[in-house]
Amino acid sequence: MDLILLALKVVVSLGILNVWLLRRDRATAFRGRDATTMREEFAVYGLGYRMYCVVGLLKVALAVALLASIFWPVLEQPAAMGMALLMLVAFVMHQKVRDPLVKALPSLAVLAMCAAIAWR
């Protein structure tokens, strides 16, 4: 079980860091509606630049906290629950703009992984 927990933490953390630090200005098949960048995606959802910055900061901080929880387990549950909440909101935003379910699958997958981490 410990190896699975470690793998979940690494997959979630590196996935979020990849999306927010390396791929935020690149098109992917999972962006809301026809957005090509993360900033455009937030505009599609009706969210402004400040919210984009706040969410980005929170996701990066929670991803780092989840990685740090490998060494400091006290961070595990708050980081996983915080990330799960953000992923739930991401899923709702995809539904708000009537995206096909395939675009929301990454948010559901990360939500499920975070739930598994938080409530192991």
Residue range 17-29: mean pLDDT, rounded: 94
The band of 120, judged by pLDDT with boundaries at 50, 70 and 90, is confident
Q: Are 39 and 23 in contact (CB under 8 A)?
A: no
Cα gap 36→7, rounded to integer Å: 30
Where in the chain are the domains? 2-118
Q: Are 79 and 65 in contact (CB under 8 A)?
A: yes
pLDDT tens across 65-114, in order? 999 999 999 999 999 999 999 999 999 999 999 999 999 999 999 999 99
The band of 1, judged by pLDDT with boundaries at 50, 70 and 90, is low
Q: What is the pLDDT of residue 96?
A: 95
Q: What is the pLDDT of residue 110?
A: 98
